[in-house]
Structure 1
């Protein structure tokens, strides 16, 4: 899917609207992870270094009532961006109006402006998230060209992505969005084989369409995490107090039959008596889980089995942890899979989907061992499902 990118257009002296994804975690007035800000820097720098006027906007958190505004202002993000760019960022605490328009019209080439959280508009009838036509048209009127670099919202048709694209002549992808299209979209269209997909996380229901789509294109689908126990139940095993979606057991049976051997589950699990890092820890074969135990991670044999399959792969896509990696006693499976991928980076194209698995890779300091760490949670999942994402469709084709 070849899309026009920011390098295909002339940005000199143009007002360049850039939809970024600065939906970063903030606790106690401090940004605890600025990875999404860092990921947008190449596009921002390209625009200002080539004489464009960069006008940035993003959502942050959810705005349900007036009191949500204070804790979800982008002011703190603008300050962090200023530090990372080493350049002044003008922050306008408005989403529309004369103050914003005047600030944009006074921008000089090479300067950066950020305006307020796009979801502030949701207080008035969800205008941003329901793609209000008038709002998209208004935001489009503020610039000459539009660069969408927010993969994290690409699976949603909002006023700040699709609404602007529909009302402006030039709508292109930024470098981050281009990278997501290349790695995830390109891999699903034409993977180098063997292609191994690794799925984890809590629920089968969250990944049904992903499994269905990956069974069509992957050579092997490794399944760990809480979702594995619904499959073990479908195979007739005792799973004790492990996480179970009772209403998905029949579906798990159908998927196992349909997979015809492509789905691989580990042969052992690490269990605990309670959902706690201080619980008694045991390793059990999958046919020997006790009734008063719950599976909280894949076991050492499973780590070896999965690692061997990864070692022989040419392409790996991973979405979802193998266990409760936030607890050190049940993080070994997630660490083991991450290390197996990183150890084979020389011959492996590896993509880790957004959310918990991406957070784990970064937490373990293994990000340099991956070809691509996606910045989108829901967007990554829907892309892996094979869906067309509105934010990508809205960007002009080459």
Structure 2
């Protein structure tokens, strides 16, 4: 997907009512936001609109349904912007409170609507709710990359009922870094894929093998590739129905001249617990043991491949990084990326959480805010929330 979409800088916003779809799906504990990355990601677009005299109407979902409110977000945003963000508490999202709040707005004011998933129509992209959202605004801005792969009322439906639909800075940045990394990489281009299942990454592996110089596999999905080649994997996670596919991908890499790296040793345990690991001597895992992380020799092999890269994209941890005894492989990969003289892009989800928790976040060129959206982008899919915006 090339980037040819209009952005907020391509249009006049002064005096206009601008509906901005943000990604405020933040974790809460006792009503307090525990990770503000997504709020920080939204600030540049919101500040630009305030500074340029727009009437800024923010909307987002939080959680999977109507059980959570965006009120804590309005309070925290008010502090971050040093300016009141009026919270329009409305179970129907676009109700009397929301309309009254928008009616009162002056240029540069900010209103936040309630959780869009208070409306069941949201995720089904029902025309009626899309029209209601659009009725509040002259212009629609999508800046929620994390939901760009979903065709919902607040990401896609609303664009049918406004003349102007553009992207904000966050989406522009995501498409620049992910797009350039995947479609115009400075070589050597190394991609690292981890996580539990091969089936989650089938299309990604297939797409990346046409683009990369080296593909590194770690995490639970590695054991399916190893078993397919006849190695012993003990009680490790395996997808029996993906063994033929694993061999096909290994063959495709050979045919394309792509280096396909799999673990050469492992940290294993007899149960899924944070216990003292046993390190295997080679690729084989002894009976009664499960692989929970890559081993020290593999760390070296992977770090070596990353060291000379000019572009590195990483999606998915190397092991059970939540366990202190089994986060060593993920740390080694993060450190190798931090030390590399390369454009380093983290494709959202667990790998983004891992690099932030492990303290390498500020060493990466770009950390994507969208897990599912990043994955679909890496698969080569078009994202409906982007497609719906006006072309330049």
Alignment-derived partner of residue 174 in structure 1: 168
Task: Find the counterpart in structure 1 of residue 327 from structure 2.
Answer: 331
Given that 1:232 and 1:286 are in contact with CA atoms closer than 8 Å, whether structure 2 keeps it comes out as no
Partner residue in 2 for 1:45: 47
Q: Whole-Å Cα distance in 1 between the matches of residues 274 and 97 of structure 2?
A: 52
Q: Aligned match of 2:202 in 208, 218, 243?
A: 208
In the TM superposition, residue 189 of structure 1 has moved relative to its aligned partner by 1.7
Per-residue deviation, 1:161: 1.3
For 1:74, the equivalent position in structure 2 comes to 70
* 1:209-228 matches, cutoff 5 A: 209-228=203-222
TM-score, normalised relative to structure 2 = 0.96
Residues 237 and 286 in structure 1, CA contact (< 8 A), matched pair in contact too: no
Shift of 1:381: 0.4
Aligned residue for 1:157?
A: 151
SS in 1 for 2:172: helix
CA contact (8 A) 1:215 1:262 kept: no
Question: TM-score, with normalisation over the residues of structure 1?
Answer: 0.95
Structure 2 matches for 1:141-290, cutoff 5 A? Answer: 141-260=135-254, 261-278=258-275, 280-290=276-286
- How many Å separate the matches in 2 of 1:367 and 1:2? 29
Matched, 1:296 2:292: yes
Q: 2:29 aligns with which of 27, 34, 40?
A: 27
Q: Distance in 2 between matches of 1:349 and 1:397?
A: 27
Deviation by residue 1:194-230 (Cα, 9 ceiling, x = unmatched): 1100000000000000000000111111000000000
Q: How far 1:396 moved relative to its partner?
A: 1.1
Query: Hey, what's the Cα distance between the residues in 1 that align with 2:125 and 2:285?
Result: 50
CA shift, 1:29, in A, is 2.0
Given that 2:263 and 2:283 are in contact with CA atoms closer than 8 Å, whether structure 1 keeps it comes out as no
Return the offset for 1:235: 1.0
- Residue in structure 2 matching 1:342, options 334, 338, 341: 338
Aligned residue for 1:317, secondary structure, equals strand
The residue aligned with 1:58 is 60
- Is the contact made by 1:352 and 1:373 (CA closer than 8 Å) also made in structure 2? yes
Q: CA deviation at 1:289?
A: 1.5
Aligned-CA RMSD value: 1.1
Q: Distance in 2 between matches of 1:130 and 1:245?
A: 32
Unaligned runs of 5+ in 1: none
Cα deviation 1:71-92 (Å, max 9, x = unaligned): x110111111112112111000
Q: Could you tell me how far 1:266 is from its partner in structure 2? A: 2.1
Deviation of the 1:27 alpha carbon? 2.3
